[in-house]
Amino acid sequence: MQDEINKAVTVLREGGLLLYPTDTVWGIGCDATNAEAVARVYALKQRPDAKALICLVSDVPMLEKHIPEIADVTYDVIDLATRPTTIIYDDPVGIAPNLVASDNTLAIRVASDTFCRRLIRKFGKPVVSTSANISGTPTPQSYREIAPEILKGVDYVVNLQREKQGGQPSSIIKIDKNGVVKVIRK
């Protein structure tokens, strides 16, 4: 695993795109602070940049570095979630501007997968995580279902967990600075 983490970090530092197993489904990723890399993800997915992407952090301290005001209830949601849960936050900082939605929000998930957490921790910055499909097509349920244009469009494919089947996208909720919770996707 460490060799794959080292290769992936090199690609991220060079502004490249990864195809990697996440705590949910296979994802396309890049440095969430690099606007050019983020633009490449939108182009590869053929997705309008008005439709925001998710990013992953390794832990709560990394989350707090990019979200200055976090409602107290958020910590309970992170601690008690029984499946991967992405939270939409207000007013992110230190993130590529084209990753932030037009309403100045950002969807972030604290990664639960060991590989993802170790990768992001070594990289030291959030990593984009979006499903490995062309926008509007079904999310691949396994590595084998990933379209050839996605495989060819990334700079590195992580060689781990390729046999993993049936991942599900995360739950998505919005928690504003006042602690108001809204379920977006169950």
Q: Tell me: the pLDDT tens digits for 81-131? A: 888 999 999 999 999 999 999 999 999 999 988 999 999 999 999 999 999
pLDDT at 168: 75
pTM: 0.92
Q: Tell me: the pLDDT tens digits for 130-161? A: 999 999 999 888 889 999 999 999 999 998 87
The half-sphere exposure of 5 on its side-chain side, counting CA atoms within 13 A, is: 13
| Res. 165: pLDDT tops 70 | no
Taken in order of first residue, the domains within the chain and their CATH numbers are: 2-185 (3.90.870.10)
